[in-house]
């Protein structure tokens, strides 16, 4: 396969032993031929979707929405089963 945009630049990253093992496991699980291919794919995916929310952002938003649902439920005088929110 011909490379239309040759790759000349090199990126070096330091990982802890645990981080390396986890990255290697994930890359193999998803069928990457090397850890380098996995890292490149992850970087390019981030570049192509820079505004995508992180897992932490999504969890924070879900917590906000759950709290709002709980508040509305209490205001309406009914109970709504909101995961992660205790309904007395």
Distance of CA 52 to the CA centre of its chain: 9
Residue 85 phi, psi (nearest 5)? -120, 130
- Cα–Cα dist 22/29, whole Å: 10
Tally of helices (H runs) and strands (E runs) in the chain? 3, 0
The answer to whether 23 and 39 are in contact (CB under 8 A) is yes
At 87 the pLDDT is 53
Q: pLDDT by residue for the chain (88 residues), tens digit each?
A: 566 788 889 999 999 999 999 999 999 999 999 999 999 998 888 888 767 677 787 888 888 888 888 888 888 876 556 566 555 5
């Amino acid at each position: 396969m011909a490379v239309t945009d040759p790759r000349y630049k090199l990126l070096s990253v330091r990982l802890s032993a645990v981080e390396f093992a986890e990255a290697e496991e994930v890359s193999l699980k998803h069928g990457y031929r090397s850890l380098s291919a996995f890292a490149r794919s992850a970087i390019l995916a981030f570049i192509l979707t820079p505004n995508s929310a992180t897992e932490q952002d999504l969890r924070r938003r879900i917590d906000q929405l759950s709290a709002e649902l709980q508040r509305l439920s209490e205001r309406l005088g009914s109970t709504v089963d909101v995961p992660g929110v205790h309904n007395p």
